[in-house]
Structure 1
Amino acid sequence: MPLPPPPYESATVIRTLLVDDEPPALDELAYLLSAIENVEIVGTASSGGKAVAMIREMEPDLVFLDIQMPGKSGFEVLADIVQMACPPFVVFSTAYDQYAIRAFEENAVDYLLKPVSLDRLRKTVERICRLLGGSRGEQAKNREDAFHLRTLLAVAGIGPEIARFSVECDGRNVLLNPRDVLFFQSTDKRVHAHTEGGDFACPSDLSLEKIEERLQSFFFFRANRSQLVNLAFVRSYAPWFNGKYVATLSDSKGTDITISKARVRAFRAAIEL
């Protein structure tokens, strides 16, 4: 039976790559997408390794990416393409991975639960069309705000190159896991790592900017000039004054972190769906 026509038209042509290790799933997704006029399928891949190569070569606008595949998983594909100058939008698909769905609901541009319905697929494409609209600068900003790839990798447990870092405590060097740090704070002389168990001085040659760069694959956000906060510990937030926000952490003290006015939009994009 033929599929119904799409309910809208768009001048935006979305160059799309489909990735799934199951041929029937690829065929079904391609069939459903054929009912959406502004989607152009530029290729399909049945493995993560092939997907990475095709993404780098073809530079598609959108990738529908299965999570669980032999060899490279969808997460590992994402880790490989995150450093691209203009990575594609990624829509994840999964049959049963409930923990991943919860992560997607907070951090990815979208996810699809198999079996995929045509109505759900159209909503996804409509969203991508909106994100692809506008100038190149607007598109780049939309990509940055929409997915936060490094954040998703951190939530998914895909570790960065650095697993622990050294801080000073009672004349000794102590190794901390970045995930245990509530926030970093820069003073006139040093940067301190604040944890539930205490505050620790970072090496004197580490500025807040360097720490932010080295921990970019973790769930950290530059809240203001002097603080780098771990978004995994944000319990709540609210508007404050002069356009600022205040974020309250889930530590025993209920620490408040000020989000500067200039960073509010990026903060909301990072913390919300």
Structure 2
Amino acid sequence: MAAKQKIRCILIDDEAPALDELNYLLSEFNDIEIIRTATSATQGIKLIQEEEPDLVFLDIQMPGKNGFHVLQEIMQFPNPPLVIFATAYDEYALRAFEENAVDYILKPFSQERISKSLERVRCLLFANCTEKVEVPNMNALLSGMGLGHNVLRISVEGNGRILLLEPAEVILCRMEDRKIMVYTAEDIFPCYGDKTLDKLEERLQGQPFFKANRGELVNLTHVRDFAPWFNGKYVLTMNNIQENEVIISKGRVKSFRERLGLA
């Protein structure tokens, strides 16, 4: 990208308070110009295409398309912007960011962390820093998140055909009579292809799925509520039409709380 006096930014987050906070913190930097904000992935992609910003602050966990889907699409643009993830994501994802030289700031945001991220951005945009900074390997990140060139879908059997579901459509996966059953908002399908939950969980790494017990894998974005249960276990209620209940085994409770940022 050509050097510019101002770094033109777009902010994408489905939560208005997070957008307001980030907007306020970035206003303290004289070389940052916030040109547009978006509250959904689809709107954000459109704005990036129209405005061609230098930098995008991108939330990951959004309804429908998430931040990785935004990244996947904008990487196809002639001049894709630099991306800083603004996230409350789990440790697995953070390790992936670090390994692929992608910067991120954790919610709740701090001025000091944003300042460090912007120093890195200035180095990449203007090549005026003393230390060498590698260009982020976004394609490697997408591959690590189950995206990139290999499109991630969950295959199920329905009406004599093989249906391909987006991970976001899946509420939970449950072993029943030695077969994985896939629950969506309104339907239940036999899984096609994956034979074990362990294998399916491995393929879904980087997606918001959590193995609650030996026989159930839940999509954390579809957990409606949870409560303590017997013997140190938890019980979850999913937000599908059946309102399925899932028991988190005692040994998995700590990991569950960590994934939700409650530990």
Matched letter for residue 73 of structure 1: N
Partner of 1:52: 45
Corresponding residue for 1:152?
141
Q: CA deviation at 1:11?
A: 7.0
Give unpaired runs (5+ residues) of structure 1: 1-9, 136-141, 164-273
1:110 aligns with 2:103: yes
How many angstroms apart in 2 are the aligned matches of 1:25 and 1:155? 26
Match of 2:23 in 1: 30
Instruction: Assess if the C-alpha contact under 8 Å between 2:139 and 2:148 holds in 1.
Output: no
Alignment of 1:55-94 (within 5 A): 55-94=48-87
Q: Cα distance, 1:96 vs. partner?
A: 3.5
Q: Give the root-mean-square deviation of aligned CA atoms.
A: 2.1
State the 1:108 CA deviation: 4.0
Deviations 1:106-130 (A, max 9, x none): 1143011111100110111111111
Matches within 5 A, 1:163-174: none
Give the stretch that moved more between structures: 76-85 or 19-28. Answer: 76-85
Structure 2, unaligned stretches of length 5 or more?
153-263
Residue 98 of structure 1 and its aligned partner are, at CA, apart by 2.1
Seq. identity, %: 53
2:7 is aligned with 1:14: yes
What count of residue pairs does the alignment treat as equivalent?
146
- Conserved in 2, the CA contact under 8 Å of 1:90 and 1:108? no
Distance 1:15 1:125 in 2: 12
Q: Where does residue 138 of structure 1 map in the other structure?
A: none
Runs of 4+ off more than 6 Å: none
1:34 Cα offset (Å): 0.5
User: How far apart in 2 are the matches of 1:97 and 1:68?
Assistant: 11
Residue by residue, what CA displacement relative to the aligned partner does 1:29-55 show, whole Å, maximum 9, x if unpaired? 000001111000011000000111110
TM-score (norm 2): 0.52
Checking the alignment, whether the CA contact within 8 Å between 1:12 and 1:129 is kept in structure 2 is no
Contact 1:81–1:87, Cα closer than 8 Å, also in 2: yes
Shift of 1:97: 2.4
TM superposition shift of 1:162: 7.3
Q: Distance in 2 between matches of 1:25 and 1:13?
A: 23
**1:125-140 to 2 correspondence within 5 Å?**
125-134=118-127
